[in-house]
Structure 1
Amino acid sequence: MSGIVIVGAGECGVRAAFALREHGYKGSVALLSEEMHLPYERPPLSKQCLPAHKPIRPKADYQQAGIELCLRTRIEALDLAGHRLLGRDGSSRIYDKLLLATGARARLFPGMEGAATLRTFDDACRIFERLRAGARLAIIGGGFIGLELAAAARAMDVQVTVIEAASRLMARGVPAEIAAIVEARHRAEGVDLRLGMQVAALVAGGVEIADGSTVAADIVVAGTGATPNTELAEKAGLAVGNGIMVDSRFRTSAPDVFAAGDCCSMPYRGDWLRLESWRVAQEQGAHAAAAMLGAVGEWTTVPWFWSDQYDLGLQVAGWAAAEAKTTIRHLSDDAAVAFQHDDEGRLICAAGVGRGNRVAKDIRLAEMLILREARPPADQLADPTFNLKSLLKAA
């Protein structure tokens, strides 16, 4: 049976499947997943003390929408000329159009072999079943995943050490001023932060640092980023570069083949960008579905990310740049928003942190300003009493 086939049943793939039906597509839709579990939300895996399998959609929804959900299905090869997918079990499937939503997998650098990773529900179960009060957890990497796990583990009275090669936390994700607030909170919660330290190897009872010292640990988890799952695309001859390369309508280098979500790299404001985000995955899945039906134009959405650590909510709109000019809006002692501008004064990123949803309104307004390529005055952005909403009119 031909029709539209989606390889990958994460947030992106599931959203695409249902979006096809919402757009009135009547043909067959097949959603293929390597996992045994009903497609689930990944954000709760690193933010809760007990792993929870939270389905993206109930099983009945797939049946009602006429979506063929195929679990434990691994695709080994893609025949572009024949519009055919070949499974590990020897099966084959013809497609009219194909969406690759293969996601990404945890990345391990040399010396980290043997470390646990947190990417799937099964990963989370294996990690949290070993955590108990007094246990020693070493986390390699001071990014979102590692810090979320650190916060969850501290709530269980686990001893936590975070080892980060950079001189500060979240160096790739947020400006330094925002990272400093998060760092202070982790230190106050008793997390041992080892910044500017390279891991040499995992050893019995812990982690050996490049300077010869050792961090004692009962369990070691690597949170050092993710690698896009591009093997299927590469073997088929699709263009790949830090992800499956697509245009602004998620079309790959082959006719009738699209890619979206964590696995794809796409043009964004003069650069190539691969995004790993729950909301971005949803938006790209919906947009790719519409694009496969010829019902939508280019994707111009501003990237948006979030992280919860303790009672702090961190949000980012746009894409942080290490060398960009930054303006800080101080909302309180533990809440601030950092705005970044390009050389021409355009707002390109806003990152904020505060208790609960303290920064949500400011980030949402910044997101709209970034989309409109606004050039807001720095003094107005820095003034916590100034109403940012008024800047939208000028933009």
Structure 2
Amino acid sequence: MADPILLVGAGQASASCAAKLRALGYDGPLVILGEEQAAPYQRPPLSKKYVSGELALERLFVRPLSWYAEEKIELRLGIRVAALHADAHEVTLDDGRRLRYRQLVLATGSRPRRLAPEIGGDLGGVFTVRNLADADAIAPELQAGRRLIVIGGGYIGLEAAAVAAQKGLAVTVIEMADRILQRVAAAPTSDFFRALHQAHNVAIREATGLAGLVGEGGRLTGVRLRDGTVLPADLAIVGIGILPNDELAREAGLAVDGGILVDAQCRTSAPDIFAAGDCANFLWGGVRTRLESVQNAIDQAEHAAGIIMGGSADYDPKPWFWSDQYDVKLQIAGLNRGYDSTVVRPGKRPQSQSVWYFRAGHFIAVDAMNEALAYALGKKAIEAGKSPDPAALADPNSDLKSLLA
């Protein structure tokens, strides 16, 4: 029997790569290896509708289980790849078995940064939100009247804060940087979401350093700030960023630097090994880049499948992202990296606006809060290489369609 194409990691990227391989005519053996017991599922809803109980487990799955059988895709779950042997075209599983491969796609994803045990990171009641087990552990803890401290004011933390506030918890967000969302958004977007959360009685504490967590009997009781203040807490959610799962590649001798290094065709430094999704670090716009998004996981994995099947095009993503908080839908088109100016365009209704990013006079990204038209037109303009006039853009009475035509 011919050696299979192995997909390591049973997430959105592997499911997308497998589907694309079949769509492109690959009819050979295809195996997905995943550490979790669950079939590939969507992760973004975990911190939103799933943890709140609005979304059933069945609706998380990327594909029904029957699809894998129909497409003759072998799904091996609850299995960890312990070692990769690039020269031998083999992997060793955690039970000692070895599997050969024809080509291999590393779609190992990422994991949340955690607080060190030395400062209380291992106390009961301290959570991260990354996988199904995390969300299942948090859900029963979200009880009205309890006190939640969210550590980190990024999108994951703010989404968790919104869910908890709506369930009646007393929520405080602490952020070490000068403002929430500082790493990913301009000040007007931070201002919008700060006001939104404060309107829902969430306390936002910015420029606030964390000294550690305190507990009793192994369970969290409070969060100690660097100024000595202790905030009482029944639970904490830590959202301080993610790390690429690149250890398997590193230990196998592949080139790794803040993720698995790949070329423009998603190839790693080893023959017949590709990488896609959160774990892949690729050159884009002259800068090494990891895009932490579902869109990139799907598109990059599908691109890798195309290369495996004989394609030669470079991967050129068109980034987009989203976040749901309360009744606000944030949609982001483009990547604001390196922006030097912004334009705020008021929305047509309450709790809506858009923030437009420019670099050297060129439009590069937009944050659209309850402004679907701004998002759609901004995305189209970025893909077409068009830049609206900033002054006209700032005028809420100007016609957005004509500005971006």
Please tell me the TM-score bracket, short chain as reference: over 0.9
Secondary structure of 1:262's counterpart equals coil
Secondary structure of 2:111's counterpart equals strand
2:76 to 63, 70, 73: 70
Q: How does 1:181-220 map to 2 (within 5 A)?
A: 181-204=192-215, 205-220=221-236
TM-score (norm: length of structure 1): 0.94
- 2:114 matched to which residue of 1? 108
- 2:62 matched to which residue of 1? 56
| 1:148-197, Cα deviation, whole Å (9 max, x unpaired) | 11111111101111111112111122211112111101001011111111
- 1:307 matched to which residue of 2? 323
1:98 to 87, 101, 104: 104
- 1:369 matched to which residue of 2? 381
Contact 2:378-2:404 at 8 Å conserved across structures: no
Mapped to 1, the partners of 2:376 and 2:255 lie a distance apart of 34
Q: How does 1:1-395 map to 2 (within 5 A)?
A: 2-48=3-49, 49-50=52-53, 52-53=56-57, 54-110=60-116, 111=119, 113-114=121-122, 115-204=126-215, 205-295=221-311, 297-321=313-337, 324-332=340-348, 333-343=350-360, 345-354=361-370, 359-390=371-402, 393=405
Offset, 1:259: 0.4
Gaps of 5+ in 1: none
Of stretches 328-337 and 20-29 in structure 1, the one that deviates more from structure 2 is 328-337
Mapped to 1, the partners of 2:110 and 2:237 lie a distance apart of 17
Of stretches 248-257 and 366-375 in structure 1, the one that deviates more from structure 2 is 366-375
| 1:274-303, Cα deviation, whole Å (9 max, x unpaired) | 111122211112111112212351121221
Mapped to 1, the partners of 2:205 and 2:78 lie a distance apart of 40
Mapped to 2, the partners of 1:117 and 1:149 lie a distance apart of 10
Identity %: 40
| 1:201-247, Cα deviation, whole Å (9 max, x unpaired) | 11021111111101111111101111100000000111111111112
TM-score (norm: length of structure 2): 0.92
Secondary structure of 2:278's counterpart equals helix
Contact 1:76-1:232 at 8 Å conserved across structures: yes
The amino acid across from 2:148 in the alignment is L
The amino acid across from 2:163 in the alignment is A
Secondary structure of 1:290's counterpart equals helix
Contact 1:337-1:352 at 8 Å conserved across structures: yes
Offset, 1:112: 5.6
Distance 1:371 1:112, change over 3 A: farther
Count of residue pairs brought into register by the alignment: 388
Offset, 1:392: 5.2
The amino acid across from 1:237 in the alignment is G
Contact 1:174-1:316 at 8 Å conserved across structures: no
Contact 2:83-2:248 at 8 Å conserved across structures: yes
Of stretches 58-67 and 160-169 in structure 1, the one that deviates more from structure 2 is 160-169
Offset, 1:31: 0.7
The amino acid across from 2:67 in the alignment is D
Of stretches 327-336 and 116-125 in structure 1, the one that deviates more from structure 2 is 327-336
Contact 1:175-1:351 at 8 Å conserved across structures: no
Gaps of 5+ in 2: 216-220
Offset, 1:329: 1.3
Mapped to 2, the partners of 1:195 and 1:367 lie a distance apart of 31
Of stretches 262-271 and 97-106 in structure 1, the one that deviates more from structure 2 is 262-271
Contact 1:99-1:260 at 8 Å conserved across structures: yes
Offset, 1:366: 1.5
Mapped to 1, the partners of 2:151 and 2:280 lie a distance apart of 26
The amino acid across from 2:31 in the alignment is A
